[in-house]
Structure 1
């Protein structure tokens, strides 16, 4: 079961998220916070798998929360909850250590899918934001790729680059074949490539 905390100051939105999470047996809601300050204090003891946080909060922002928690508790995964798809704040949140984001007008089914994807090692985000993250890094392209992809996506791409077949990758990482394919689709989208050759070239900074 995936344990979740919510940070959202608007009560109606917080209540809607709570209802979505509590209606799915795979998810377990630990706590709802109205502000980042309380979350920063209590999240380390709650140790949720996933934190869904608004960006714009009353005092400290959701980005501040990611900054303060993620460094010492890297296993806690943050997903930003925002009304903007292509926004500098989303970009800053990802750079701070968030693993993706959900739009506030997303359907309940898609919200649950994003949480599951995050828990399985993915990073739910739009191609536009992924492209912005990739192009922003002043390091080598290969380092930028590693910054953009989740740990699991990096593992899949590295095994692919070594010539492993999809089924072999699934067996090696102890995941299903469909999960491997889903990770590859996300990798292609984020790296703006069409096939595995282009993706591997990006990994090694060849294009």
Structure 2
């Protein structure tokens, strides 16, 4: 049996999906929630094989939910099931560890097939999503550049890419905020940028981290 956990703030859609999947041979719905605030704990308790995660939920978004899950669990499969197919949501979902990305307008059979696919090691995506992913990768540099950044500077830059504040960078790397600022000044100089947003954009575009 494939154990499935659902997150969606639309009660009607979530309950309809739960009913559909619970009646599908080989599937078992082990839980359904209208938010993903406790997603990491839910997974430790319910032990799902596959998580269906909405993006637009109150409080913590689905992408933030994926990020929190991946901090403690790398094995559970996560499919984003959402109405959003814009580049930023697709990229962020994949970057933080989603295994698949399926639109809610997909047919019930397509969603069932996606669950089976991801459980078997696949990466299910609607064709429109796959096209965007290919375009995103095509627009990236063929090989990453490091701009002569030190390993520590790369760690600081990666932490900024992950959305952390200077204080959070310092805590995660066990260094002082003054040391973080020193590294960031050096990073800005080497990347020839003047702000955090420019540094993050360049890091992603040139695949520095």
Q: TM-score range by the shorter chain?
A: 0.5 to 0.7
Could you tell me which residue of structure 1 aligns to residue 32 of structure 2?
32
2: distance between equivalents of 1:138 and 1:36?
35
Could you tell me which residue of structure 1 aligns to residue 56 of structure 2?
56
Question: What are the Cα deviations for residues 18-67 of structure 1, in whole angstroms up to 9, with x where unaligned?
Answer: 12211111111000011111323321221211000100110001111111
2: distance between equivalents of 1:133 and 1:26?
35
1:127 and 2:126 correspond? no
Indicate conservation of the 8 Å contact 1:33/1:39, yes or no.
Answer: no
Distance 1:13 1:71, change over 3 A: same
Could you tell me which residue of structure 2 aligns to residue 98 of structure 1?
98
Question: What are the Cα deviations for residues 52-105 of structure 1, in whole angstroms up to 9, with x where unaligned?
Answer: 010011000111111111132111111001112343112211110001111111
Distance 1:19 1:92, change over 3 A: same
Indicate conservation of the 8 Å contact 2:39/2:69, yes or no.
Answer: no
1: distance between equivalents of 2:123 and 2:142?
21
1: distance between equivalents of 2:140 and 2:60?
26
Instruction: Please list every run of 5 or more consecutive structure 1 residues that lacks an aligned counterpart in the other structure.
Output: 142-207
The structure 1 segments of at least 4 consecutive aligned residues displaced by more than 4 Å after TM superposition are: 136-139
Indicate conservation of the 8 Å contact 2:4/2:30, yes or no.
Answer: yes
Instruction: Please list every run of 5 or more consecutive structure 2 residues that lacks an aligned counterpart in the other structure.
Output: 145-209
CA RMSD of aligned residues (A): 1.8
Partner SS, residue 94 of structure 2: helix
1:7 and 2:7 correspond? yes
Range that drifts further, 119-128 or 83-92: 83-92
2: distance between equivalents of 1:104 and 1:98?
16
Higher CA-based Rg: 2
Indicate conservation of the 8 Å contact 1:7/1:32, yes or no.
Answer: yes
Range that drifts further, 85-94 or 57-66: 85-94
2: distance between equivalents of 1:2 and 1:138?
39
1: distance between equivalents of 2:77 and 2:130?
20
With the length of structure 1 as denominator, give the TM-score of the two structures. 0.63
Indicate conservation of the 8 Å contact 1:86/1:128, yes or no.
Answer: no
With the length of structure 2 as denominator, give the TM-score of the two structures. 0.63
1:127 deviation in Å?
A: 2.4
